[in-house]
Structures are given as structure tokens and as C-alpha cells.
Structure 1
Amino acid sequence: MSFSDLLKADAALVQARLDAALALRAEVPVVQAMRYAVQGGKRLRAFLVLESARLHGISPEAAVSAAAAVEALHAYSLVHDDLPCMDDDDLRRGLPTVHVTWDEATAVLAGDALQTLAFELLCDPVLGKAERRLALVAGLAQASGAEGMVLGQALDIAAETADAPLTLPEITRLQAGKTGALICFSAEVGAILAGADRAPLRAYATALGLAFQIADDILDVEGDAAAVGKRVGKDAEAGKATFVSLLGLDGAKSRAAALIDEAEAALIPYGARAAALIDAARFVISRQS
């Protein structure tokens, strides 16, 4: 199966799990908004969960609740990130954002509920022993909280009113939290479920997450809004420091390529079994959205 087909197959499996989790009796706007928010997207984080599981001999069906948890958490972060008090975006995945489609209060509550749904999904007994599920809950909490994604978002907001633009180390730290932490957790899930060493996958995903963000910064300059699915050129308009503004377009592309080389090197212990993860790394810097 090609990487593209595998990505689509995993996305469909995860969407089915999310649909089942959101088949709630209450037909109220917040539930409708939750369902809306989890539609579409590349599902790269879910793919990393399922592929890291396959790498350790765990079937996608046995790991899909963890993949759905990651996507629910990611969807919550996007819903809140788009709010007027945050990045104030009106387009996400080619569609109006949740607060535009409903209202700000519904968007806040939908995000809150998606976050709690993520941890409910990690309690699914299909994921194995209680201690493994507890490790997943702790890992996702750390990746998404005040030392991970939330920290990155807070640093991003603070940078908007800072006296000077961020330096390269500062923006690297910011993005390691805002984007990289959840990607790292996703790639480590298979090792957590198997009780195996997480270090190679952590090294892989650390490089991958940073390359992913650099690719996003490049798309904000070169991308087409219709293909990207959200407004482009916003960072330059706001005068935000990005990898492109600090390294230049060619420098950013070179850095992203070097990071993908690092990610691939981290997978050497797995040999040919890591082929799909290598394909994922190359996809990250070649994507158009």
C-alpha cells in the first residue's frame, strides 16, 4: 500500500472511531460543533499513533482509540486557536471556523468537550492494561498542557506584544511546545502500548515536529489559501517572527530538509519496518496544506 493510501485508510478508521464516540443522544449545538470540528484534516498525528503501533506488532484496531484521542485533542486546540481572543481565524480546513459557524461560546465549549473526550478515549480497555492506559493519559496531559502545547500557545501570544522579535532559539522552543509536543506523543504511543523504549521514536518525532512547523511557515509565504485551507500571509502581515523571517525562504527549506534527515536517521534501529514513517517524514516537507 502506498503512503497516500495508508494515510487515507488510517484517517477513515480514526474518523469512524470519532463518529462512534460522538454518537451522543443530545442533539445540541455544542455536539454538532464537536462533530464539525473533527472532520477532515491530514490526520498525520493519528497516522503516527497507528504506525508506531504497527511498528511494535500492535494492530490499528487495538490502537485506534489512542489515535482518535490525539485527533480529538488536536481538534480542540484548533477550535480554541481560531478564536478571536487567540489567532482570530475565520477559515480552517477550507471551511468556516467553529466560532464563525456557531458563536464564540459554543466554540469554547466544543473545544472543552473535545479535550475531555480525548482522555475518555484513552481509558478504552482495548488499549490494554491499566498501567499502559495511565501512561497514555499522563503522556497526553504533559504534551498538551502547561509544559507542552499550551505553553507554546502562551509564548506565541506573548510574542505579539514583546519589545523585540523572537530569536531562533526562542521560536524553536515555542514551536516545540505548540506543534511538536503533540506530534512527539503521537509517535511514542506504539512504544508506550508495547512497553518498549521510546527514545528512537522521540528523536524521530522531535525532528519531524520542527520540520512540520517550518513547512507551515513556508506555506504561509508560498502556499495557496484554497489548497492550504486557511488564510496565508498572516504571519508577515502581523510582523511575527517565523523560521522563514529568521532564516530566509531558502534557509528554512534547507533546515527542514536537514531535520528530515535527522528524523530518518533516528529510525535506523527499526530497519525496513520504519519505511512508512520515513514516507511520513518526507511528506511533511512536500505537502501543500
Structure 2
Amino acid sequence: MDTTLTAILLGIVEGLTEFLPVSSTGHLILATELLGYDAERWAVFNIAIQPGAILAVAVLYWRTFWEAFIGLFRWDPKAVAFVRNLLVAFTPAVVLGLAFGDQIEVMLENATIVAWALIIGGFAILAVEHYADPQESGGVAALSLRQSALVGAVQCLAMVPGVSRSGATILGAMAMGVDRKTAAEFSFFLALPTLTGATVLQLWKHGSEIGTGAVGWGEIAIGFVVAFVVALAVIKAFVAYISRHGFKPFAWYRIVIGVAALAWFALR
């Protein structure tokens, strides 16, 4: 497949799935199997375009981040609580990511793990949607330290490819009674330090490979821009949709894709 077309397709996959509870990493791994391209050759590309999706959150919520930044200088309680909650939720991923980074990379090579994680995660979403009783929470700054720490702990499940970082954090928050909108926004905000940290770590380890070989800076630039534009549209539409309709469609999507992937692996 032409490298430019592959870059565009992977940029679309990253932008579409990074903030939905369907696992962007899992979809990129399955795309490797489906499209038949050399996964090792494009592995660093997938890391390098991730900041495009991250940038979409910063652009859409720039006012929230700016107010928190300015509020810290005034030691505004709301701004302090906002930053505190993000830092507390971010910490478990840092600890486990540094401790088990090599083991996590090994799992990224296994598409079967992705398929099973998609299926199990789909049923987990259905369970949370059925049993959880989310209440209006007053925004991210109003969450308690306990809630923030537990969301951070649940986020670590997403180190297994196919689990979904956004799905784990959103549903973990909802299971503690947080309303859908606040849970989704907490997940988006938490993506900035979590994904930035993970991207920096991976680029530090594999940075010498960027721009070399058949996948160069041109493809990375295309994938970055595509991921950014698609993520902008997805985030706005996602918050509006889940506030009214919930997560069940994403659960059934995960189950169908996971089962289809397992069937395809068995038959090919």
C-alpha cells in the first residue's frame, strides 16, 4: 500500500479512536493485521502522530486549562483541586509504565490479546451502564482525592492493548457515581499528561528511528494533521452523544469487532 495512503488511514484511526472507549492502540494493531503493512516499520509513526490527537484536547479545552493555570497563581481552590486531581490520577500510570514498559511492548505484538480485551471490555461497559448510578458531580475539580486516585488506578488497565484508556477512566469514574460528562472530560484532561508522558518515553527510546527508512517526516506530518483534525470532530460529537445516549453502542461495537477479529484469525 502507498505510504501516504497508509499514513492517512492510520491518522484517521488514531483520531477516531483515541478518545472513544474502543482502544486506539487496539485498532492500530488490528489495522496492521487487516491492511497487511509492516507493523514494525510503522510502530514509531503510530507514536509520533499521537500528539496530534492530544493537541485536539488542548485546543478544545484551552480556556479550562488557561483558567486553571492562572488560578494556581492566585491559589484558587478550584484551580488547585483541578490540578491536584489530574496529578493524583496520572501518578499510577507513571509508576507502572516505568516498571513494566518492556512487558507492555511485548503485548503490543499480540493481536489476539486485543480481540479478547475488546470483547471483555464491551461486556464491562454494559455492566457499568446497567448498575452504575451516576449523579451530577460538579466538574473535575469537585471530585475527591479518592475518586481521582481510583480513576488513575483503573487507567492502568489500559496498558493491556485493547482495553482502552478512555474507556477505563470514564467507566471507572461512572462506577463511582460520577456523571457521564464529567467522567468523559476527566478522561480527556487526563490524556494530556498520560499520553504526553508515554509518547515522550517512547520517542526517547525509539527517537533515532523517526524519519528514517520508508516512513519519513512527510508521512508523520500527514498522520499528525489527520489525527488532530479527526480528533477535534470526534471529541465534540462524543461528549454530546454520550450525555444523551450513554455507552452501550460502543460496548456492542467492541464485542462485534473482537468476535470478528477472533473469527478471522481462526480462519485465515
TM-score by length of 2: 0.32
More helix per residue: 2
Could you tell me the TM-score, scaled by structure 1's length?
0.30
